[in-house]
Structure 1
């Protein structure tokens, strides 16, 4: 009878030990699960913060680029208005002269208005994927920046081959092009490169496309090459850059479009390569 009681106690103790171990494992699993949830929430908050900073940076760049685009037309408009009293005092102010200057002024104002519309449409977030032609987006992006590049005497060379059409977020793709081009511009200006240039080459067919953007700014230092796409990494200083543009560009191409965004140094400078559908 004592032996039976001892066996029963052993079974009970064994069951209690198993239950204790099970509860210990369950507690650890719950703790690990809670830790994973906290980590995911932290990552989600960081991603939202990056997107927010990216939008602020894009808005700031948009304002700077609009200022570049508007400077010359505003000067022309100012000169047109300033000459009116001069011609009036000289006695040359007549209906034909007035009509001609009103027409010139209205054309400038319409150009300024179109510029605002172009930028508004360009930076409007995509809500759905759509099919778009790569070459159209290259040309659309160049229309926004060519004025600013011309003021900095930066030559733009374009070589487009094939007729690739991609399915994805059109404005996101264009903003990737814009980010890379503006980074090239900043490097060329900061380093005071003589005869600065940027080359854009694209090729592909169907849903396969490759876009290469190259400059002659001297390239990226080897010690920072591995961090160039890291969030908040910038070589421009706190007042000039947020360090999210290239990170968001890589995210857009690789996560949202299933492509690749890479960079390497050439004999002249940096070459960014976008590959989608390859």
Structure 2
């Protein structure tokens, strides 16, 4: 769609020149000279369209039309000058021209034999002009297409500005802020430079171009990390900022010529391409979009500036349409960087989650080993007694076959118990990433059985209250892991604070859509000053804690199980609330 509109606009521009019969140019030194003063002058020189000139003077244009090419209908003569202000004769300056981006003349059939005059007022040391003649219907079609095209370009650029600004607020990365400001300045340049405001805003345009170069430069520095990865290019980028700042200072305060009166301003952006290429070769795929966007922008800018600085004819028929097209194209490609960045951030998030999950699993294994030691103390003691009994019986010649078989059976029972303990803990640590059907009370009791000995050691009483052993279908292993973490945290709190009559109550309730598990203790609770931080990664109050247990528990409940985990401060301790979604079959 965008390509089609652009081609149509170019065709309209190039087909109109054949209506012009002759065109002449008059150079004047006095800025106050009017059109009426020069009508009788014989100093006009013949020129061709499109006209472009690098000069500090103002010019008058006189042209006539090819009468035989016109049909008996109304026509529009429109004028386009990107760099100069166009003034028509007073009789053509009517209310019709007030709201138009460029002046027009409504041409009646009886006006074809006339000579037309206009003035090009110089305020930027450059002048250019193109004249288009089209039928009234064709003019309105062209203007409609032009407005659609321009509106599309504004929308794309503004969207790019807005998205990068939002991305900055959520990520706080300076590169996104600088990119957002760069897109905003593109809008400002279009508004000031492309016939929307009066051409007297010369210095405003210069300032906008400087700020555009500044923020695009800073965007390149921060986005490609040139300070760390491309030190030499980083110094060049900073040198470019210095040169551009001196250029702005000289123009604003001294109005002298600078280096950019002899070489294109856009040459200062070429270094961006080198930075992007080096980054692309280093594996940064987002550099491709930046490289393509800025290559198009720099190439088009160089083309425009070269014809302004060195040539007296236009390389490009319609600069305005090209500017809109290239800037919209640049914004679209810059927007393409965001999905790639989202993909990178998602990958980093997944990797970070896996690291934290692995750390949490290692921490749980440490806790499990401690619980295994508690579980194994009694059977190991019993095995020691069995060995001593056999040794004593052998020493006193009382070791009969029957006695040996009895003691062997006792030892086998103890070893079987120890083996089952290892199996239980192994199953607990091996989390299956698939949903299973299970009864909630049975699973809670299974978790309790794994840590019962350590709780007995600290004289902690556990109580489970439930009106019914509800059936769930969810990730059993992950839910068990969360309950283990919460119970183990309570045990650590009891141990640290040396609470007497330590007790944990687990209440299970069901409503229409959720199963509620409340785990409440009387260990004193969490300090109110740190309540909001307990679910943050790597935050811990334990001397040797990793600070990932509660963080991972919340992630598991809310992102995997699709429930909710929250904390409440109670009078005597802490209360953790787990809300689990019920399946239809539950």
Q: When the two structures are superposed, what TM-score results if normalisation uses the length of structure 2?
A: 0.45
Please state if 1:32 is matched with 2:338.
yes
Cα distance in 2, alignment partners of residues 42 and 35 from structure 1? 10
- Measured in 1, the distance between the counterparts of 2:479 and 2:506 equals 15
1:210-240 Cα offsets, whole Å, 9 max, x none, are 1111111100011111111112221113xx3
Structure 1 equivalent of residue 453 of structure 2: 147
Q: Aligned pair 1:47/2:171, yes or no?
A: no
- Is 1:276 matched up with 2:400? no
Deviations 1:180-239 (A, max 9, x none): 0001001110111122121112122787311111111100011111111112221113xx
Give the CA deviation at 1:271: 0.8
User: 3-state DSSP class of the match of 1:258?
Assistant: coil
Task: Output the CA distance in 1 between the equivalents of 2:463 and 2:398.
Answer: 45
Asked which structure has the greater RCO (Cα within 8 Å, sep 6+), the reply is 1
Among 537, 552, 556, the residue aligned to 1:248: 552
Answer yes or no: is the 8 Å Cα contact 1:165–1:206 preserved in 2: no
**Structure 1: segments with no counterpart, 5+ residues:** none
Q: Which residue of 2 aligns with 1:187?
A: 493
In 2: Cα distance, 1:81 partner to 1:116 partner:
22
Instruction: Return 35-44 or 50-59, whichever deviates more.
Output: 35-44
Cα RMSD, aligned residues only: 2.2
Within 5 Å, which residues of 2 pair with 1:117-132?
117-132=423-438
Partners of 1:89 and 1:100 lie apart in 2 by: 18
Looking at structure 2, the residues matched to 164 and 204 of structure 1 have their Cα atoms a distance apart, in angstroms, of 8
The count of residues paired between Structure 1 and Structure 2 equals 276
Counterpart mapping for 1:37-186 below 5 A: 37-186=343-492
Shift of the alpha carbon at 1:178?
A: 0.6
Q: Could you tell me how far 1:4 is from its partner in structure 2? A: 6.6
Write out the 4+ residue segments of structure 1 that deviate beyond 4 Å after TM superposition.
8-11
Q: Distance in 1 between matches of 2:454 and 2:131?
A: 89
Cα-to-partner distance string for 1:13-39 (whole Å, 9 max, x where unaligned) = 111110231133124213333433332
Q: Based on CA coordinates, which of the two structures has the bigger radius of gyration?
A: 2
